[in-house]
Amino acid sequence: MIELLSRLTRHPLLTTELLIGTLFVTVLNLASPIFVIQVLNRYISHGITGTLITLTVGMLIAMLLQFFFRLIRTRIASDISIDSDHQLADRVLEALSSAQALELLGMGRTKLQECSVRLQHIRAGYSGPTITNFLDGPFAVLYLMAAFIISPLLAWIGVVAIVIGIVIGIANVFFSTRSATATQQKSMEQRGPIISAVNNLETVRLFRGASFLSGPFTKVTGSLLGLARKEQSGRELYRSTTMMMTILLSVILYAVGAIQVVEGLISVGALIGINILVTRAFSTLTQFIQSMSLINRAQKEYRSLNEILRLPKEKQDGSSLQEYSGSLEMRDLGFTYPSTHNPLFENIRLKLKSGDRLIITGQNGTGKTTLVRLLTGLLSPERGSVLVDQVDLRQIDPGWWRDQLIYLPQEPTFLPATIHDTICAGDPEINEKRLSEIIAKSGLEAYLNNSAEGVNTFLGEEGRTLPQGIRRRLALARAMVSGGRLVIFDEPTEGLDEAGCRTVYNLLNEFAEEERTIIVVTRDQKILKGATHVINLDQKPVPLTQELGDANVLN
């Protein structure tokens, strides 16, 4: 409700037009009972054809006006929400793109993947038809006021029925909201095995993964079907109750009204007219309750999205050095994940000058990739600092810093784009000569020459369909576009054939000749031979930091 009122107040002119349009639609709705009353009371009693023609023409005009007013006000109601929906979607994407990595990962992948579903529910809750049905509710009082003018007794019967209908509607909203929440939770659980089956074809087929997935999938599907059955039964119960109450209301109105007609208190036309007015008020308030259900659901989804929107963001500004030399210092650097008690590492002290080559080694899980993420600025140190030309990395503009990196992640992922756009993402203005040079140095040339679309090949599914070696070569090409002074490679030769490894060696040699600072996470002995410094993360909690001249470096 708060969000709806906020949207209405942000557009005062449109809201005023919407309220005026709703008033006109409500008043024009009175034409139908007035037409019935006048035809039965005047034409049938006196048989004047001119009166019938006048009443009929007036009713047709009222119908046409009502038709156009309904279309116009629905369009106005949609215009009130369209900007807010667009801005909300942009804010969600911005939050997902700029939130601090550690905070974002803590939300859980499944919850983040539900963002598009939540946006869809919010659009439905604040759509044009929902808003108009919501605003129609208060104006239903006009129907009751007209009914009171004709027959207070019959109008009071309508009021009692409407109050009962509102109570039943509120109860239905409460139970349907609970049911929808449980269904959504189970739907999220059901998607897990499906995504696993799609993303892990080999595991499912070669290691009997289907039987492993079928257990939890069958269990959650059974729960989901049970919830769906209850939800459908609840909707049908409410629909049937509403229909029964509408019919019952008409029966009572006609029964009591018939007595009033016999007693001469009202006419037959008035009886039929008041039935139309009261039942229309009842149906309008029923639709109002249904719109409230959608609005409440949207408000709930909005609160869930707010958890993401409120995540602390990466700093978007900071210092930009005029020229980065390539020097880097880790000063008492330490990090502990929030979910653990023991530090992953601490008190790392190391200075690298331009042209130095650091190798980071260690067993799986010792924090090699975490250390790399600290150096790239994706994570912030819990203790200590990373200095860039003697400036704390936390004071540096993240955008500028990432332009100084030639970064190859351990598991490259790609956005849905062409190979050309993927490579050039870091520098869209790159010239064709430089692009061709990068493609050749990364070892992509042969693959692209044999591809029907070449650099215009579209990458779907984050590039997962590409062979591992091609993915690494593509990630290499993407990294080289920046031309930065700091090279950071995370397991660059892992999974590569001899030709791919040779490509990596050649690039590292070229970077070394250009006096770029190089940091490589690897156990590749050939790369280790070129190191000037080594950090061994196997030693805990303070990693072993040595220079190549130490006899224990390669052990």
Q: Which residues contact 229 (CB under 8 A, 6 or more apart)?
A: none
CB 347 within 8 A of CB 334: yes
| Predicted local distance difference test score (pLDDT) of residue 550 | 42
Q: What's the confidence (pLDDT) of residue 322?
A: 87
Q: 373 and 496: one domain?
A: yes
pLDDT of residue 212: 75
Query: Rg of the chain's alpha carbons, rounded to an integer?
Result: 35
Distance CA 442, CA 503 (A): 7
Statement: residue 154 has pLDDT above 90:
yes
* Strand-strand pairing, 328-335 and 345-352: antiparallel
pLDDT per position as a tens digit, 91-126 = 888 888 888 888 777 777 777 777 888 888 888 889
Q: In 401-479, at which residue ranges do the beta strands (DSSP E only) sit?
A: 405-408
> Residue 253 has what pLDDT?
92
> Which carries the bigger pLDDT value, residue 113 or residue 409?
409
Look up residue 220 and give its two tokens. 């959650």
Range from 167-176, 379-388, 459-468 that averages highest in pLDDT? 379-388
Across the range 437-462, mean pLDDT stands at 87
Residue with tokens 């239903």: 140
If asked whether residues 343 and 304 sit together in one domain, one would say: no
The structural domain count of the chain equals 2
- Asked if residue 319 is part of any domain, the answer here is no
Pair 333, 400 in one domain: yes
Q: Are strands 357-361 and 517-521 parallel, antiparallel or unpaired?
A: parallel
What DSSP element (H or E) covers 68? Answer: helix 49-98
Q: Does 364 lie in the same domain as 300?
A: no
Q: What is the mean pLDDT of residues 46-66?
A: 87
Q: Cα separation of 141 and 294, whole Å?
A: 22
Distance CA 205, CA 212 (A): 11
Strands (E), 419-537: 486-490, 517-521, 533-536
Do residues 189 and 236 both lie within one domain? yes
Q: Are residues 237 and 172 in the same domain?
A: yes
Written as one letter, the residue type at 41 is N
Give me the numbers of helices (H) and strands (E) for the chain, helices first please: 22, 10
Residue bearing the bigger pLDDT, 262 or 190: 262
Query: How would you class 293 by CB atoms within 10 Å of its CB: exposed for 0-12, middle for 13-18, buried for 19 or more?
Result: buried
Q: Domain with 351 in it: what CATH number?
A: 3.40.50.300
Q: What is the rounded CA–CA span in Å between residue 134 and residue 285?
A: 9
Q: Tell me, yes or no, whether 322 lies in a domain.
A: no
- Lowest mean pLDDT across 188-197, 217-226, 341-350: 188-197
Specify if 413 maps to a domain: yes
pLDDT at residue 44, as a whole number:
79
Report the candidate in 537, 538, 539, 536 with the shortest Cα–Cα distance to residue 547: 536
pLDDT category at 207 given cuts 50, 70, 90 is: low
For the whole prediction, is pTM greater than 0.85?
no
- What average pLDDT score do residues 459-486 get? 87
φ, ψ of residue 536 to 5 degrees: the values are -105, 110
pLDDT at residue 173, rounded to an integer = 80
Q: Let me know whether 392 and 302 are in one domain.
A: no
Overall average pLDDT of the 448-473 stretch: 85
**pLDDT above 70 for 57:** yes
Residue 377: CB partners within 8 Å, gap ≥ 6? Answer: 314, 393, 396, 398, 401, 402
Tell me whether residue 555 is in a domain: no
Instruction: Choose the final residue of a domain: 274, 309, 344.
Output: 309
Task: Pick the last residue of a domain from 276, 309, 342.
Answer: 309
**For range 377-400, the mean pLDDT:** 91
Q: What is the mean pLDDT of the chain?
A: 87
Tell me: do 479 and 340 sit in the same domain.
Answer: yes
- Which helix (DSSP H) or strand (DSSP E) does residue 482 occupy? none
**Predicted pLDDT of residue 256:** 92
What is the pLDDT, as a whole number, of residue 552?
Answer: 38
Distance (Å, whole) CA 439 – CA 426: 15
Asked if residue 19 is part of any domain, the answer here is yes
Q: Both 246 and 214 in a single domain?
A: yes
Q: Confirm whether 162 is domain-assigned.
A: yes
Q: What's the CA gap between 104 and 206, in Å, rounded?
A: 33
SS3 353: coil
Task: Report pLDDT for 551.
Answer: 36
Q: Is the pLDDT of residue 234 over 50?
A: yes
Instruction: Give 267: exposed, middle or buried? Use CB within 10 Å, 0-12, 13-18, 19+.
Output: middle
Of 9 and 183, which is predicted with more confidence? 9
At residue 206 the predicted structure's pLDDT band, cuts being 50, 70 and 90, is: low
| Range in 316-325, 401-410, 532-541 with the lowest mean pLDDT | 316-325
Could you list the residue range(s) of the whole structural domain that residue 508 is in? 328-547
* Mean pLDDT along residues 67-80: 91
Residue 46 has pLDDT above 80, yes or no: no
Instruction: Say whether both 229 and 373 belong to one domain.
Output: no
Would residue 317 count as lying in a domain?
no
Residue 553 resides in a domain = no
Whole-number Å distance between alpha carbons of 313 and 328 = 25
Domain CATH code at residue 99: 1.20.1560.10
Domain termination site, one of 280, 309, 338:
309
Question: Which candidate, 3, 7, 5, places its Cα nearest to that of 81?
Answer: 7
For the chain, what percent of residues have pLDDT higher than 90?
34
Task: Give the helix/strand (H/E) hosting 357.
Answer: strand 357-361
DSSP for 192-225 reads HHHHHHHH-HHHHHHTTHHHHHHHHHHHHHHHHH
Distance CA 386, CA 311 (A): 24
Q: Are residues 348 and 211 in the same domain?
A: no
Of the pLDDT bands very low, low, confident and very high (cuts 50, 70, 90), residue 553 is very low
- At 93 the three-state DSSP class reads helix
Which is more confident, 290 or 203?
290
Residue 170's pLDDT band (boundaries 50, 70, 90)? confident
Does 415 share its domain with 500?
Answer: yes
